[in-house]
Amino acid sequence: MQITKATFYLHEADPQIRQVSFSNRGSIQKVQPGLSGLFSHSGGMGWKDDLQIDFRTEAPIPTYRLQLRLHTDSNLDAYTDWGSGFSADELEWEAKKVLATLTPLVVGVDVFDREYIWQRLWYAQRFFYTGRQPLETIDRMLWDLASRHARQPIYRLLGGARDSVPAYANFGGATIGDLVAGCLRLRDQGFIGGKDHSYRGVEENAQMARELRAALGDDFILLHDPVESYTCEEAIRIGRHLEACNYGWIEEPLQDYDILGLQTVCRALDLPVLALEWIGAIGGQPFNAAPYVALQATDIVRQRGIGITGQMKVAQMAESMGLPVHGGDPHVILAIANDPLFEAMGLRPPPDDDELDCRGCLVVDQGVMRIAWSDRPVVEPDWDEVGHSARMIIE
Amino acid sequence: MHITDVQSNPASGLLRLRTDTPHEGWATGVTAATAAAIDQIYRPLLLDASPWERERLWQTLKREGGRAGLPPATWGVVDVALWDLLGKMQGLPVFRVIGGFRDRVPAYLRGNPDIDLNEMANQARMARDKGFWGCEITIGSEGDSAALVRELRQAVGDPFRLLCNGDQGLDLEAALSLGRVLDEIDAHWFEEPLRDHDVTGLQKLSDALDIPVMAGAFLNGSILAGTRALTTRAVDRLRATIPTTGGITDVLKLARGAEALGMNCEIDWDSRGAPHAAAHLLGAVRNAEFFACDGPDDDDAAVVESLPVIDGELHLPQEPGLGLHFTDPSLVS
């Protein structure tokens, strides 16, 4: 089954207000200056409650959506949403750039030759400086096509390892009291564990850990994520407190670039250290993750592989070297045995059975993640209708 | 869909998985010991299981097989049969079920080891003239191996690859001394110079020699030990043999580990079975160089037709599953 042609459809989408504001900078403001030395500044960089920065359009403005279709010589095509934005011109030229640089690398290739396409687009990242998104998107399109072809969800095509995985969720709060209340809510929702994102330094975070363990009891899984806000020495000190409170792991104690520091923390602590979310986001996995594993600079590999194929490479690399991974696509997680916990972004109740098809649908309830699916085929797009309704066809 | 029967036949070396559909999974190279292990340990784990849960089955078979003291080849052949079945269920050749990288693979001739210098030289020239990318020469611990490889280089000329196999028969001193000569004649690699478990000796040899040292097919607990041999640079390339090292799943994981470390996992096959599983894996990974092709004399008693190697390239079967064709149809009925 060969890929014969690539087409982009540029669609008009719902108008939206465009906005950026100070609070969108992420969570750096939560890191108090001077605590770890990483974020201190003589001028007092830090959160100011009275700081108001808010850029926004007065009214909703038009938005656009780009859809990629890879035609095949069979009755099934690969397709996906490629991107969206406020500028039709920019999306049009994005499509033209992809058609001029990347899709010629896949047209003429068998849709099941995913490894060839993954390897080609991996190196295309270097030659065209594409970033990870094109490979991520095209690999997923091909797995989605394989799923519709076999009428099985992707995790079973990968070789199902299990049907469900225990789930935990994240919690936060302005005070330790808020954090404890947030974690208790997770337990009430059925989650088997919770992970903070707390940047209070060693002493306060140790206090938090003790209060959480006291409130949640012995069986609840507690995980600590300081988001790279410790020094190496602090990480070892907090690690001992967390071990005393029977924590499951410490996540990103140091910045991922500090490979020798991570090695020191891993060697010192019994508590598993989870790393590589940030450096993995750049796209070097599995290749830059493997040396961390070999040097024992992480105990759990944050899953950041590119596409389903890349995530399987990361999981199998870690398994081949005796380590677990954490995170990534639910289908990949269900297809491997070395990822014990699922990080849920809230509850996802199951849909009605008549809404299910062979692609499957993520469900998070009763403390587990699973994929609900049926063997019903996916309703394929009417490409004539898609073409008629598109604002522009680019090919 | 589920597995309804597991039949192994040590006389033909065949394993057959039957399902409640017309699809069946087959594997070759089943010895009497493996057949006994399948019947006693694996059969109950396979019956009523869904082949779509291949990874769960692999984890279970490996765990139970390991507990029973069984070698990787025992669950390996079952895993191969499962992949054959999954390919047929999807209407795809196995290399495309994994995710295809190529449908032709460069091949070298895995020659007859028990021949004299003249025959070896003839064999290498024949391989070269037939378009093979190289020819294997197997070195014993007896005789003047250094003189032999020099003369072989002379006989075949410079650019042709000579792949040297020590068959785990040398000690470190002999391997180092021969290895210097292999460097000199620019041999392509030095396979299994020492016993596979001598990782310290292998590391010393890998450090000392310029040509790649390749080993690892016989490491028990093969995946973890194999990647350890790579991270410590005890070997320059990992050798994985189906089913000695395990099944398609085992070797795929090893190959992915090696790929992440920027290294090659060279995949070959035990001649007691058919080459199909190794061939499909070679079609699905980037970091393996050659298909090991047996000479024409080796096919006499084969229960499965050999794979086409044309102008030095293996052409992968495009039909669903492994593409096994049985020489005697009565075996399949």
B103 and B78 in one domain?
A: no
Tokens found for residue A139:
């690999």
- Which of A20-29, A48-57, B52-61, B296-305 has the weakest average pLDDT? A20-29
Whether the predicted pLDDT of A31 surpasses 80: no
pLDDT by residue (tens digit) across A92-136?
A: 999 999 999 999 999 999 999 999 999 999 999 999 999 999 999
Strand partners, B18: B5, B24
B162 and B84 in one domain?
A: no
Of B53, B99, B223, the CB nearest to A309: B99
Which of B67, B90, B113 is the C-terminal boundary of a domain? B90
Which of B90, B107, B138 is the C-terminal boundary of a domain? B90
Model pLDDT, residue A26: 46
Ramachandran assignment for B56, one of left (phi > 0), alpha (psi -120 to 50 degrees), beta (any other) = alpha
- Which of A41-45, B214-218, B316-320 has the weakest average pLDDT? A41-45
> Among residues of chain A, what percentage have pLDDT more than 70?
92
Of B52, B256, B284, the CB nearest to A317: B256
What is the rounded distance in angstroms from the CA atom of residue B109 to the CA atom of residue B120? 12
Q: What is the mean pLDDT of residues B26-48?
A: 97
B178 and B149 in one domain?
A: yes
The CA distances from residue B12 to B9, B16, B27, B70, B274, in Å, are 6, 11, 11, 21, 12
Closest CA–CA distance from residue B62 to any residue of chain A (Å): 13
Nearest CA-CA partner of B250 in B53, B77, B52, B68 = B77
**Contact between B92 and A112 using a beta-carbon 8 Å cutoff:** yes
Mean confidence (pLDDT) of chain B: 93
The CA distances from residue A171 to A69, A165, A330, in Å, are 39, 20, 21
pLDDT band at B188 (very low <50, low <70, confident <90, very high): very high
What is the rounded distance in angstroms from the CA atom of residue B257 to the CA atom of residue A123? 19
- Which of A39-43, B67-71, B138-142 has the weakest average pLDDT? A39-43
pLDDT band at B218 (very low <50, low <70, confident <90, very high): confident
Model pLDDT, residue A51: 66
What is the rounded distance in angstroms from the CA atom of residue B213 to the CA atom of residue A241? 47
Q: Other C-beta atoms within 10 Å of A119: how many?
A: 19
B119 and B44 in one domain?
A: no
Tell me which of A296 and B219 has the higher pLDDT.
A296
Model pLDDT, residue B141: 65
> Among residues of chain B, what percentage have pLDDT more than 90?
83
Q: What is the mean pLDDT of residues A146-175?
A: 95
Model pLDDT, residue A34: 45
∠ CA B190-A317-B65 to the nearest 5 degrees?
85
Which of B74, B90, B106 is the C-terminal boundary of a domain? B90
Nearest CA-CA partner of A311 in A125, A70, A114 = A114
Whether the predicted pLDDT of A35 surpasses 90: no
Model pLDDT, residue A49: 59
Mean confidence (pLDDT) of chain A: 92
* Residue B308 three-state SS: coil
What is the rounded distance in angstroms from the CA atom of residue B50 to the CA atom of residue A379? 26
Q: What is the mean pLDDT of residues A156-174?
A: 95
Q: Other C-beta atoms within 10 Å of A88: how many?
A: 17
**Structural domain containing residue B258:** 96-329
Model pLDDT, residue A48: 55
What is the rounded distance in angstroms from the CA atom of residue A254 to the CA atom of residue A271? 15
β-strand B14-19 against B24-27: which pairing, if any?
antiparallel
Containing H/E element for B276?
Answer: helix B276-282
**Contact between B260 and A317 using a beta-carbon 8 Å cutoff:** yes
Closest CA–CA distance from residue B159 to any residue of chain A (Å): 29
Strands (E), B212-305: 213-215, 237-242, 264-269, 291-294
Strands (E), B69-221: 104-110, 134-138, 161-165, 189-191, 213-215
Q: What is the mean pLDDT of residues A5-28?
A: 82
A311 → chain B, closest CA residue: B256
Whether the predicted pLDDT of A25 surpasses 70: no
Contact B14, B31 (CB under 8 A): no
Which residues 318-357 of chain A have a CB within 8 Å of chain B? 319-322, 335-337
Tokens found for residue B7:
């039949």
B164 and B284 in one domain?
A: yes
Model pLDDT, residue A40: 43
Nearest CA-CA partner of B264 in B240, B237, B226 = B237
Q: What is the mean pLDDT of residues B10-19?
A: 95
What is the rounded distance in angstroms from the CA atom of residue B126 to the CA atom of residue B117? 14
pLDDT band at B297 (very low <50, low <70, confident <90, very high): low
B104 and B181 in one domain?
A: yes
β-strand B161-165 against B134-138: which pairing, if any?
parallel
Contact A27, A112 (CB under 8 A): no
Closest CA–CA distance from residue A347 to any residue of chain B (Å): 26
B222 → chain A, closest CA residue: A320
Count Cβ–Cβ pairs < 8 Å, chain A vs chain B. 107
**Contact between B259 and A337 using a beta-carbon 8 Å cutoff:** no
pLDDT by residue (tens digit) across B140-153?
A: 767 788 998 999 99
Closest CA–CA distance from residue A161 to any residue of chain B (Å): 4
Q: Omega before B71 cis (within 30°)? A: no
Q: Exposure of B297 by Cβ count < 10 A (0-12 exposed, 13-18 middle, 19+ buried)?
A: exposed
Closest CA–CA distance from residue A335 to any residue of chain B (Å): 7
All residues of chain A having their beta carbon less than 8 Å from the beta carbon of residue B228 are 321
B177 and B44 in one domain?
A: no
Model pLDDT, residue A58: 95
Q: What SS3 string covers chain A?
A: CEEEEEEEEEEEEEEECCEEEHHHHCCHHHCCCCCCCCCCCCCCCCCCCCCCCEEECCCCEEEEEEEEEEEECCCCCEEEEEEEECCHHHHHHHHHHHHHHCHHHCCCCECCCHHHHHHHHHHHHHHHCCCCHHHHHHHHHHHHHHHHHHCCCHHHHCCCCCCEEEEEEEECCCCHHHHHHHHHHHHHCCCCEEEECCCCHHHHHHHHHHHHHHHHCCCCEEEECCCCCCCHHHHHHHHHHHHHCCCCEEECCCCCCCHHHHHHHHHHCCCCEEECHHHHHHCCCCCCHHHHHHCCCCCEEECCCCHHHHHHHHHHHHHHCCCCEECCCHHHHHHCCCCCCEEECCCECCCCHHHCCCCCEEEEECCEEEEECCCCCCCCCCHHHHHHHCCEEEC
If you write DSSP's letter for every residue of B61-105 in order, what string do you get? HHHHHHHTT--HHHHHHHHHHHHHHHHHHHTSBHHHHH--S-SEE
Whether the predicted pLDDT of A1 surpasses 70: yes
Model pLDDT, residue B222: 80
Instruction: Say which CATH number the domain at B270 has.
Output: 3.20.20.120
Model pLDDT, residue A33: 46
Q: What is the mean pLDDT of residues B35-51?
A: 97
ipTM for the complex shown: 0.88
pLDDT by residue (tens digit) across A237-276?
A: 999 999 999 999 999 999 899 999 999 999 999 999 999 9
Of B56, B102, B260, the CB nearest to A160: B56
- Which of A29-38, A176-185, B30-39 has the weakest average pLDDT? A29-38
β-strand A164-171 against A78-85: which pairing, if any?
unpaired
B154 and B72 in one domain?
A: no
B118 and B212 in one domain?
A: yes
pLDDT band at A39 (very low <50, low <70, confident <90, very high): very low
pLDDT by residue (tens digit) across B239-254?
A: 999 999 999 999 999 9
What is the rounded distance in angstroms from the CA atom of residue A275 to the CA atom of residue B166? 42
Residue A118 phi, psi dihedral angles, 5° rounding: -60, -45
Model pLDDT, residue A23: 59
Nearest CA-CA partner of B27 in B308, B297, B272 = B272
B184 and B65 in one domain?
A: no
Output the pTM of the full model.
0.91
What is the rounded distance in angstroms from the CA atom of residue B83 to the CA atom of residue A231? 48
Which residue of A320, A334, A373 to mutate against B (max B Cβ within 10 Å)? A320
What is the rounded distance in angstroms from the CA atom of residue B260 to the CA atom of residue B248? 18
All residues of chain B having their beta carbon less than 8 Å from the beta carbon of residue A115 are 98-101, 284-286
β-strand A368-372 against A164-171: which pairing, if any?
antiparallel
**Contact between A289 and B260 using a beta-carbon 8 Å cutoff:** yes
Helices (H) and strands (E) in chain B, counts: 12, 13
**Contact between B54 and A316 using a beta-carbon 8 Å cutoff:** no
pLDDT by residue (tens digit) across A305-334?
A: 999 999 999 999 999 999 999 999 999 999
β-strand B213-215 against A193-196: which pairing, if any?
unpaired
What is the rounded distance in angstroms from the CA atom of residue B59 to the CA atom of residue A226? 34
Model pLDDT, residue B140: 73
Q: What is the mean pLDDT of residues B24-51?
A: 97
B162 and B198 in one domain?
A: yes
* Total domain count, chain B: 2
pLDDT by residue (tens digit) across B203-214?
A: 999 999 999 999
Q: What is the mean pLDDT of residues A49-72?
A: 90
CATH of the domain spanning A3-16+59-151+379-394, picked from 3.40.50.11720, 3.30.390.10, 3.60.10.10, 3.40.50.10260: 3.30.390.10
Model pLDDT, residue A171: 93
Closest CA–CA distance from residue B100 to any residue of chain A (Å): 4
**Contact between B284 and A115 using a beta-carbon 8 Å cutoff:** yes
Nearest CA-CA partner of B323 in B311, B309, B306, B310 = B306
* Domain residue ranges of chain A, discontinuous segments joined by +: 3-16+59-151+379-394, 157-372
**Contact between B100 and A152 using a beta-carbon 8 Å cutoff:** no
Instruction: Say which CATH number the domain at B63 has.
Output: 3.30.390.10
What is the rounded distance in angstroms from the CA atom of residue A176 to the CA atom of residue A180? 6
What is the rounded distance in angstroms from the CA atom of residue A336 to the CA atom of residue B255? 16
Model pLDDT, residue A46: 44
**Contact between B55 and A320 using a beta-carbon 8 Å cutoff:** no
Question: Is residue A363 less than 8 Å (CB to CB) from chain B?
Answer: no
Model pLDDT, residue B139: 85
The CATH number given to A157-372 is 3.20.20.120
B81 and B166 in one domain?
A: no
